[in-house]
Amino acid sequence: MAVTRSAGRFDAFRALSERRGKAGEQLIGHLARARQETAEGPGDWAPAVASGLRLPAAAALGPAAYYADLAAPHGRRHVRVCSGTACFAAQAGRHLPRVERELGVTVGAVSPDGATSLQAVRCLGYCYAGPALLDGTTPRTGPALAAGPPGRAPLPAPPIPAADDTGDPVLLAGAVAGEPAWQVWPAAVTAGDPGGVHREVAASGLRGRGGAGFRVAAKWEAAGRAPGTVVVANGDEGDPGSYADRLLMETDPQRVLEGLALACYACGARRGVVLVRSEYPRALARMREAVGRAYADGHFGPSAHGTDTALDVEVAEGAGSYVSGEETALIARLEGDRGCARPRPPYPTARGLWDAPTVVNNVETLAAVPWIVARGGAAYARRGTPEETGTKLVCLSERFARPGAYEVELGTSLRQIVTRLGGGLKDGSEPAAFQVGGPLGGFLAPGALDVPLTTAGLAARGAALGHAGVVPFDQRVEPSEVLRHVWEFAAAESCGACSPCRVGSRRGLELAEAGGAPGEEWERLARVLTGASLCAFGRRIPPAVRSLARVYGGRPEGWEP
């Protein structure tokens, strides 16, 4: 048996799974099918799934109890209601008890007859039309959100409003400008110059759009075109308030796949994987359909467009975990493990999926690559700012007069985005705070929006770019409610891999629920979270809380920076 190591340590389950033909890659899908329509706990059905794959029971019990979709009991009708930031801001969370009353079941439970179950999730990608829920795979949205009786035809959920503010869209070239995809890949692969693709991306200055902002060409180079390299398209968009990846995967999946093909080519990878959130059922279907069409059209397969370049691409489904969007946690999920962050080094580009060099790029990142290769890296580098080049999709939530996804150049003033594009808040409401870059991104006051949309510019104000979702809170929502919402998210979504974040996020929630002034205890907690958390999730909690306190003038009492 080959010795399989994670972060330099022997991992028995991973080694056994690899010996069984990498059975872990099938595990999550088998568990999801077993979970359907059963209210029983994982202990009653997960061991049988493991046995069928010739794995020990513990290999299935771990992920079955970890992932929200697998841990939540399922009735014959399973409803997922969004409790994410944008839906919370829409009605201060009052839609949740209303849906519970209508269905006659509480969140996390199944009705006594097994007919209906209700699960709270952190985002469904309908931030522009919230609050929202998924009845099975059918979305329902709007201020009068109701689940309705089974069988009633719901009003169709509105499509994502999308517009370009650059004059020459990169990411919305297909969705808005109508430019067909697959115009770059055939010429690139037949030219036989993968180094040329890499050089154009390097010249462009493109950085990852998933939140970390790492230079894409540097990540590709770190993999070294080593044999067995894998490229993963990360569509596990978990930041409540962002739906850019959902927009791209649903409206222009071919462009995402073309970017993935070009990335694989530049990295010398013969395998690509697309990971799509389970909360995005339509995006999942569209990506799978697009992959099938790409094989039929000769873009993928053992001889792409008649060349000696082989490329196989598959689509995997997530199972409900925010932290699984972090690249090492995502790799763990693809291997059938719990989606927990892994220590680094080694980095995925050296030892990733089944110990192969692995490049993880966000969906939005990959969607920019065809434009860069076609127009040239220098043309892309002239857009945005010299330090942070290119364009970005900004998602404005339901509280705006004109919610939607807007493609803007990096460096655009956040005030311009909020007022000129978003039209300010709807119904003339007065904003109290703006959350930027996701639940752990940070908060800005209405008077502090004269800041460029860049990683550096937002960081200087205590916020973060993240996926660039913008969620305003109006005067109806109390500061203490916003604070509690932030800590609820942190406590629920901490992967638990490290005790500073696992314990610290829960303690923070206790302090927020107790009110008053935590004082020195909060300061100790903030130091531990910042200095000892394994990944950026735990380290981002204190800055997010501090930025919230600054916006509300030091309130809630005791949470001043």
Which tens digit of pLDDT belongs to each residue from 299-332? 999 999 999 999 999 999 999 888 888 899 999 9
Percent of the chain, pLDDT > 90? 76
Residue 518 has pLDDT above 80, yes or no: no
> Of 157, 147, 154, 152, whose CA–CA distance to 78 is shortest?
147
Asked if 300 and 311 count as a contact pair (C-beta separation under 8 A), the reply is yes
**Residues 288 and 345 grouped into a single domain:** yes
Confidence of residue 515 (pLDDT cuts 50, 70, 90): confident
Query: What local confidence, expressed as pLDDT, does residue 8 receive?
Result: 53
> Of 98, 135, 139, 142, whose CA–CA distance to 119 is shortest?
135
User: How many structural domains comprise the chain?
Assistant: 4
Q: Best-predicted range by mean pLDDT among 384-388, 465-469, 480-484?
A: 384-388
Domain final residue, candidates 106, 141, 176:
141
**Residues 288 and 365 grouped into a single domain:** yes
pLDDT digits (tens, 9 = 90+) for 175-224: 999 999 999 999 999 999 999 999 999 999 999 998 778 899 999 999 99
Q: Greater confidence, 561 or 437?
A: 437
Q: Give the containing element (helix H, strand E) for 141.
A: strand 138-141
**Residues 343 and 373 grouped into a single domain:** yes
Query: What local confidence, expressed as pLDDT, does residue 388 receive?
Result: 97
| Beta-bridge mates of residue 109 | 118
Domain final residue, candidates 419, 449, 474:
474
Interval 372-391 mean pLDDT? 97
Q: How far is the CA of 126 from the CAs of 92, 122, 247, 288, 481, in angstroms?
A: 16, 11, 10, 21, 22
Residue 416 has pLDDT above 90, yes or no: yes
**Residues 406 and 314 grouped into a single domain:** no
Residue 335 has pLDDT above 90, yes or no: yes
**Residues 316 and 398 grouped into a single domain:** no
In a domain, 443, yes or no: yes
**Rounded distance between C-alpha atoms, residue 121 and residue 178, angstroms:** 33
Interval 337-356 mean pLDDT? 92
Mean pLDDT score of the chain: 91
In a domain, 219, yes or no: yes
In a domain, 159, yes or no: no
Residue 355 has pLDDT above 50, yes or no: yes
**Residues 454 and 530 grouped into a single domain:** no
pLDDT digits (tens, 9 = 90+) for 72-85: 999 999 999 999 99
**Residues 526 and 417 grouped into a single domain:** no
Query: What local confidence, expressed as pLDDT, does residue 365 receive?
Result: 97
Q: What is the domain extent for residue 504?
A: 479-551
pLDDT digits (tens, 9 = 90+) for 98-110: 999 999 999 999 9
Q: Greater confidence, 302 or 516?
A: 302
Query: What local confidence, expressed as pLDDT, does residue 348 receive?
Result: 96
**Residues 375 and 399 grouped into a single domain:** no
Domain at 371, CATH number: 3.40.50.11540
In a domain, 49, yes or no: no
Query: What local confidence, expressed as pLDDT, does residue 154 receive?
Result: 62
In a domain, 288, yes or no: yes
**Rounded distance between C-alpha atoms, residue 224 and residue 374, angstroms:** 24
Domain final residue, candidates 429, 447, 474:
474
**Residues 370 and 406 grouped into a single domain:** no
In a domain, 205, yes or no: yes
pLDDT digits (tens, 9 = 90+) for 6-48: 445 567 667 766 766 688 889 999 999 999 888 899 999 999 9
Query: What local confidence, expressed as pLDDT, does residue 517 receive?
Result: 62
Residue 276 has pLDDT above 50, yes or no: yes
CB 187: neighbour CB atoms within 10 A?
11
Asked if 442 and 241 count as a contact pair (C-beta separation under 8 A), the reply is no
Query: What local confidence, expressed as pLDDT, does residue 367 receive?
Result: 98
Considering the entire predicted model, what is its pTM? 0.93
In a domain, 366, yes or no: yes
Domain at 437, CATH number: 3.10.20.600
**Residues 344 and 212 grouped into a single domain:** yes
Query: What local confidence, expressed as pLDDT, does residue 151 receive?
Result: 57
**The 3-state secondary structure of 424-479, one letter per residue:** CEHHHCCEEEEEECCCCCCEECHHHCCCECCHHHHHCCCCCCCCCEEEEEECCCCH
Computed on alpha carbons and rounded to an integer, the radius of gyration of the chain in Å comes to 23
Confidence of residue 558 (pLDDT cuts 50, 70, 90): very low
**Rounded distance between C-alpha atoms, residue 44 and residue 27, angstroms:** 16
CB 421: neighbour CB atoms within 10 A?
18
Query: What local confidence, expressed as pLDDT, does residue 210 receive?
Result: 80
Confidence of residue 555 (pLDDT cuts 50, 70, 90): very low
Q: Within 13 Å, how many C-alpha atoms sit on residue 290's CB side?
A: 23
- The angle at the Cα of 315, spanning 309 to 316, to the nearest 5 degrees, equals 135
Q: Greater confidence, 150 or 194?
A: 194
In a domain, 193, yes or no: yes
**Residues 360 and 397 grouped into a single domain:** no
**Residues 528 and 420 grouped into a single domain:** no
Query: What local confidence, expressed as pLDDT, does residue 560 receive?
Result: 44
Interval 223-234 mean pLDDT? 96
Percent of the chain, pLDDT > 70? 93
**Rounded distance between C-alpha atoms, residue 339 and residue 321, angstroms:** 7
Interval 112-136 mean pLDDT? 95
Query: What local confidence, expressed as pLDDT, does residue 150 receive?
Result: 63
Domain at 101, CATH number: 3.40.30.10
**The 3-state secondary structure of 63-128, one letter per residue:** HHHHCHHHHCCCCCEEEEEECCHHHHHHHCCCHHHHHHHHHCCCCCEECCCCCEEEEEECCCCCCC
